[in-house]
């Protein structure tokens, strides 16, 4: 018979909500849910609960939203919940040592990479940017380091050529829930990471979204996919910011300065790069909607003519 754990769940975004939903359908008992404080969202900047909080409230679970877990009163309160495990998924707060040691069996994390590759804040985007063919999910025992704890379970996930951060995120969220339940269904046997193979997935900065057309078509395509849906790869045409949501690599020979528009049709906008040709398929003007190039040409044909330069 499968063991039933008394669990504290800590998470904030949709990625974590998928795992919480899986736990709610399992034999395990959720004693409490921790999530980030409500944040302003939308045009009205109305305080909005996180996806994890919204799901927890639907199921009448107790929800706690401390701004920090470094406070001794918060630490004592969590310890008094007397949980077997604390499961953490994209929570967003640092867990100090007293929190890591509070549950009977400690804290375990659902991490969106195949550790030790891509420790850190942005493993999904960094895997796509690097051109990795495979990523995965790792369930690990948490320690005081940055994703350095021993691993309890790993599952691989191929990265498809058309994957964006959004599509890969959604597959990994589902895989993370599966990996978590598989982990809880068997003895928790830790395997130490090989730190010599570790890479660091640093936080994504908005400045990284600016396209450098001297790069290769392959590198820019990865940049566009990695930064969809945020911060969205962008370029400039005659002083106007153009956001690029989708592109594809075009085979063929062409000569021209990187960033030059060499073909414009309803199929897309072909742009020279430092190596190869990139076809822009979905773009967005400032204040406008995301549109296919065919739709854009109906309104802004004069802006998109052969020989113009993207910078």
pLDDT in tens, the chain (311 residues): 678 999 999 999 999 999 999 999 999 999 999 999 999 887 778 889 999 999 999 999 999 999 999 999 999 999 999 999 999 999 999 999 999 999 999 999 999 999 999 999 999 999 999 999 999 999 999 999 999 999 999 999 999 999 999 999 999 999 999 999 999 999 999 999 999 999 999 999 999 999 999 999 999 999 999 999 999 999 999 889 999 999 999 987 777 899 999 989 889 999 999 999 999 999 998 888 999 988 888 766 666 788 888 98
**Cis peptide bond upstream of 269, omega within 30:** no
Within the chain, all domains assigned CATH 3.40.50.170 are found at 6-201
pLDDT of residue 54: 97
Topology classification of domain 206-303? 3.10.25
Q: CA-CA distance, 39 to 90, in Å (whole number)?
A: 16
Q: CA-CA distance, 53 to 36, in Å (whole number)?
A: 9
Q: DSSP string spanning 170-208?
A: HHHHHHHHHHHHHHHTS----B---GGG--EEPPP-GGG
pLDDT of residue 1: 60
Q: Which residue has the tokens 């948490």?
A: 142
> Do the Cβ atoms of 40 and 48 come closer than 8 Å?
yes
Within the chain, all domains assigned CATH 3.10.25.10 are found at 206-303
CA angle 126, 283, 278 (to 5 degrees): 65
pLDDT of residue 46: 87
pLDDT of residue 163: 98
Q: Long-range contacts for 210-213 (Cβ within 8 Å, ≥24 apart)?
A: 210/234, 210/235, 211/235, 211/244, 211/310, 213/258, 213/259, 213/271, 213/272, 213/273, 213/274, 213/310, 213/311
CA-nearest of 40, 78, 35 to 56 is 35
Which residues have C-beta within 8 Å of that of residue 8, sequence separation ≥ 6? 30, 31, 32, 33, 34, 78, 81, 83, 85, 86, 87, 103
pLDDT of residue 299: 67
Domain 6-201 CATH assignment equals 3.40.50.170 = yes
Q: CA-CA distance, 290 to 20, in Å (whole number)?
A: 32
CA-nearest of 141, 224, 125 to 184 is 141
pLDDT of residue 109: 98
pLDDT of residue 287: 85
Residue 211 CB burial class (10 angstroms; 0-12, 13-18, ≥19)? buried
pLDDT of residue 255: 78
Q: CA-CA distance, 248 to 164, in Å (whole number)?
A: 12
């Amino acid at each position: 018979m499968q063991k039933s754990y008394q669990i504290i769940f800590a998470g904030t975004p949709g990625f974590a909500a998928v795992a919480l939903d899986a736990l709610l359908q399992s034999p395990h008992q959720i004693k409490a849910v921790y999530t980030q404080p409500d944040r302003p969202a939308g045009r009205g900047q109305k305080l909005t609960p996180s996806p994890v909080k919204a799901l927890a409230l639907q199921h009448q679970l107790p929800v706690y939203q401390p701004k920090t877990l470094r406070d001794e009163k918060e630490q004592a309160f969590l310890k008094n919940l007397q949980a077997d495990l604390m499961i953490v998924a994209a929570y967003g707060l640092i867990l100090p040592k007293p929190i890591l040691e509070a549950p009977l069996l400690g804290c375990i994390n659902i991490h969106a990479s195949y550790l030790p590759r891509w420790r850190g804040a942005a493993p999904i985007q960094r895997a796509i940017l690097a051109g990795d063919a495979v990523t995965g999910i790792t369930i690990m025992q948490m320690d005081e380091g940055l994703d350095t704890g021993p691993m309890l379970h790993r599952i691989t996930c191929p990265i498809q050529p058309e994957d964006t951060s959004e599509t890969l995120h959604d597959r990994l969220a589902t895989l993370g829930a599966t990996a978590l339940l598989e982990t809880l269904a068997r003895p928790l046997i830790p395997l130490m990471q090989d730190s010599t193979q570790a890479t660091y997935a640093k936080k994504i900065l908005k400045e990284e979204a600016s396209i450098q057309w001297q790069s290769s078509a392959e590198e820019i395509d990865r940049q566009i996919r990695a930064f969809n849906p945020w911060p969205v790869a962008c370029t400039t045409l005659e002083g106007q910011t153009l956001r690029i949501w989708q592109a594809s690599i075009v085979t063929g020979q062409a000569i021209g300065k990187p960033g030059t528009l060499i073909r414009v049709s309803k199929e897309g906008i072909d742009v020279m790069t430092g190596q190869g040709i990139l076809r822009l398929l979905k773009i967005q003007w400032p204040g406008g909607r995301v549109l296919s190039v065919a739709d854009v040409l109906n309104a802004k044909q004069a802006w998109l003519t052969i020989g113009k330069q993207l910078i």
